């Protein structure tokens, strides 16, 4: 039982490049979300999903896309990377929306030059 | 605007020296207040959920309390392994603008042997 896994752990991109951050969970949780964490700003919600086929925007969605074709996977796509997207990205899951007990992945540290 | 403010930003204590961390919030119709622990380079780890004023939860040397405007995380006789960043988060009513979980920027706690 791996819980929540994220790949890659580290990534360096050039401005304008695109990439996908992977998130997978084996807990059969309905709710999955993506956060970014920047120094002094706390965790900010990017996108979330309440179940397969359903996604919605969080607080800072611009420049990111998501899809949820299966319960297990929730990839985050950066369409055209910008230096402002340099951050640590965390994926989180919970049994269903409304429960604050979220399980977080280990994070992806992204640098955009 | 819904907000979560944590204080102090950083706290250094001697081993065994008890203290409290503060989380003040402004959200109408609080659905839940959550405390997480985050170690360097890792994702947050869930500690407690509090639902209503007057509620208390305990885990080892940690006790979380909740009033209508703030929550405290009391640390009794801390040990060096309690060193971490402690995050507070709140969630407002379902189907409102505050329904998504909002995190504070955290308190960085350091315990010296």
Decide if pLDDT at B12 tops 70: yes
Between chains, do B34 and A4 touch, taking CB under 8 Å as contact? no
Considering only CB atoms, which chain A residues are within 8 Å of B30?
Answer: none
Distance CA B86, CA A23 (A): 24
Distance CA A45, CA A7 (A): 19
- The 10s digit of each residue's pLDDT in A3-62 is 999 999 999 999 999 999 999 999 999 999 999 999 888 899 999 998 999 999 998 999
A85 phi and psi angles, rounded to 5 deg = -90, 5
**How confident is the model at residue B2, as a pLDDT?**
77
Between chains, do A105 and B43 touch, taking CB under 8 Å as contact? yes
Distance CA A109, CA A54 (A): 26
Across the interface, which of B43, B91, B105 has its CB nearest the CB of A41?
Answer: B105
Decide if pLDDT at B96 tops 70: no
Q: Where are the beta strands (DSSP E) in chain B?
A: 3-7, 10-14, 19-26, 32-38, 45-50, 56-59, 62-66, 70-75, 84-91, 102-103, 107-112
Q: Before A8, cis peptide (omega within 30)?
A: yes
- Residue written as tokens 């990839």? A75
- The 10s digit of each residue's pLDDT in B39-84 is 999 999 999 999 999 999 999 999 999 999 999 999 999 999 999 9
Give which of A78, A96, A62, A63 is closest to A22, Cα–Cα: A78
Length of chain A: 113
Give which of A84, A76, A33 is closest to B89, Cα–Cα: A33
Shortest CA gap B63–chain A (Å): 17
CB A21 within 8 A of CB A108: yes
Between chains, do B100 and A105 touch, taking CB under 8 Å as contact? no
CB atoms within 10 A of CB A99: 17
Shortest CA gap A17–chain B (Å): 25
Tokens of B77: 């006789």
CB A78 within 8 A of CB A87: no
Chain B interface includes A104 (CB < 8 A): yes
A24 phi and psi angles, rounded to 5 deg = -135, 145
Helix segments in chain B, DSSP class H: none
Considering only CB atoms, which chain B residues are within 8 Å of A35?
Answer: 103
Tokens of B23: 């989380």
Across the interface, which of B33, B42, B105 has its CB nearest the CB of A106?
Answer: B42
Distance CA A54, CA B19 (A): 43
Between chains, do A42 and B34 touch, taking CB under 8 Å as contact? no
CB B52 within 8 A of CB A98: no
**How confident is the model at residue B98, as a pLDDT?**
56
Considering only CB atoms, which chain B residues are within 8 Å of A105?
Answer: 43
Distance CA A51, CA A62 (A): 21
**How confident is the model at residue A2, as a pLDDT?**
75
């Amino acid at each position: 039982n791996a819980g929540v896994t994220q790949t890659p752990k580290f990534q360096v991109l050039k401005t304008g490049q695109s990439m996908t951050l992977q998130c997978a969970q084996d807990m059969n949780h309905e709710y999955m979300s993506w956060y970014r964490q920047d120094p002094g700003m706390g965790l900010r919600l990017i996108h979330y999903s309440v179940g397969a086929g359903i996604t919605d925007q969080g607080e800072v969605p611009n420049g990111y896309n998501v899809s949820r074709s299966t319960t297990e996977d929730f990839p985050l796509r950066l369409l055209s990377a910008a230096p402002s997207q340099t951050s640590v990205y965390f994926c989180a899951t919970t049994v269903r929306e409304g429960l604050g007990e979220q399980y977080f992945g280990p994070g992806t540290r992204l640098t955009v030059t | 605007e819904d907000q979560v403010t944590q204080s102090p930003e950083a706290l250094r204590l001697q081993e065994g020296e008890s203290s409290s961390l503060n989380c003040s919030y402004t959200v109408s119709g609080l659905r839940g207040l959550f405390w997480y622990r985050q170690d360097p380079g890792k994702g947050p780890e869930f500690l407690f959920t509090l639902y209503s004023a007057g509620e208390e939860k305990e885990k080892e040397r940690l006790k979380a309390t909740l009033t209508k405007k703030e929550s405290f995380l009391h640390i009794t006789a801390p040990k060096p392994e309690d060193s971490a960043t402690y995050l507070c988060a709140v969630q407002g009513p379902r189907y409102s603008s505050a329904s998504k979980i909002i995190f504070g920027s955290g308190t960085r706690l350091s315990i010296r042997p």
